[in-house]
Amino acid sequence: MAAAPFWFALLLVVLSGCAQTGSSMLHPWGMVAAAQRDWLVIAVALMMIVVLPVFVMVPLFAWRYRRRGGRGVYRPNWTYARVLEYPIWGVPVLIVAALAVMVATRETDLDPYRPLPGAGAPLEIDVVALDWKFLFIYPKEHVASVGLLAIPRGRPVSFHLTSDATMQSFFIPALGSQIYAMAGMETQLHLRADRDGVLDGENTQYNGADFQNEHVRVEVVPDASFARFLAECRVAGRVLDPSSYRMLAVRDTLVKAKAAFGLPPDGRLLFGDVQPGLFASIIAKYHPGDRTMRMAGQAE
């Protein structure tokens, strides 16, 4: 088990060049993923303090205490040496303590529920996990998209997530912080992308035969391009109401959902209007006896 961090670090180095641009935490596009990459490197480096001596000493011991020609002295009754016990146990304790301090002081600054600094007020996006696609609702802009997430560069984004299917895991590797979406519950996530480009988002939770195809195209764009995206949604003219939502919620892939709305596989499934309170009503239907949840869905 001690060799695991070494091979993991080696694997990261070897495979880091295989990742597509915008698809890996090792090539961060935001402050959260950059911090997580740095912490991963620090954690692996600390564990190398224990692992590397093992890799050096095992072959040396095997050579020194080999059966024929070895110079090591065989002491069958030797059981204890204080000079060895202290470093053997003390060094791992110090490493664990250092990792604990790092997590308790630095990592909590990027709690998924904690807002991030950035240019302008956070952009609010409601995320509904379906089989096998993600629905993104922009509540203040009154538009929505499926399988496509557009966010402005440098502006913090506040996600509110739920599921209207099985539990799913929403993850944009280049931005960091995977988080779960569960039916009847709401989780939060705050991210910020610091440069333009196209990123890959995905569901990393196994939830059926087509989960491996549940990807999200994440477009990080300047403010002017984001305004054009909103205009494109409104021009599409579709209304996301209970009827159209039922068409989305069936257990189908994004390609089949697009076909149901008369779009080709490479089309963009956009909605220019969203029924108020839709996100809250999706959560509320899993709490039939909770009057507060029903009122929240009606008032939103």
Q: Please tell me whether residues 30 and 88 are part of one structural domain.
A: yes
pLDDT at residue 5, rounded to an integer: 52
Q: Please tell me whether residues 46 and 129 are part of one structural domain.
A: no
Q: Is residue 118 part of a domain?
A: no
pLDDT at residue 104, rounded to an integer: 82
| Cis previous bond, 78, omega within 30 | no
H-type helices in the chain, by residue range?
A: 4-15, 31-64, 82-105, 223-236, 242-249, 254-260, 278-284, 291-299
Which of the residues in the chain have pLDDT under 70?
1-22, 290-300
pLDDT tens string 7-40? 555 555 555 545 555 678 889 999 999 998 998 8
pLDDT at residue 300, rounded to an integer: 44
Distance CA 161, CA 143 (A): 16
Q: Please tell me whether residues 41 and 151 are part of one structural domain.
A: no
Please report, for the domain that includes residue 130, its CATH number: 2.60.40.420
Domain end residue (candidates: 110, 142, 172): 110
Q: Are the C-beta atoms of 228 and 208 separated by less than 8 Å?
A: no
Q: Please tell me whether residues 42 and 129 are part of one structural domain.
A: no
Residue with tokens 């949840």: 293
Distance CA 282, CA 242 (A): 10
Q: Please tell me whether residues 208 and 164 are part of one structural domain.
A: yes
Q: Order of strands across the sheet with 123-130?
A: 187-191, 157-163, 123-130, 133-138, 143-146, 269-271
Domain end residue (candidates: 51, 83, 110): 110
The whole-angstrom distance between residue 150's C-alpha and the CA centroid of its chain comes to 17
Q: Please tell me whether residues 145 and 195 are part of one structural domain.
A: yes
Domain that holds residue 138: 123-299
Q: Please tell me whether residues 254 and 146 are part of one structural domain.
A: yes
Buried b (16+ CB within 10 A) or exposed e, 175-191: bbbbbbbbbeebbebbb
pLDDT at residue 158, rounded to an integer: 97
CA angle 77, 80, 82 (to 5 degrees): 155
Distance CA 238, CA 227 (A): 18
Q: How many domains does the chain have?
A: 2
Close Cβ partners of 63 (under 8 Å, ≥ 6 residues apart): 70
pLDDT tens string 226-267? 999 999 999 998 999 999 999 999 988 999 999 999 999 999
pLDDT at residue 196, rounded to an integer: 95
Q: Is residue 52 part of a domain?
A: yes
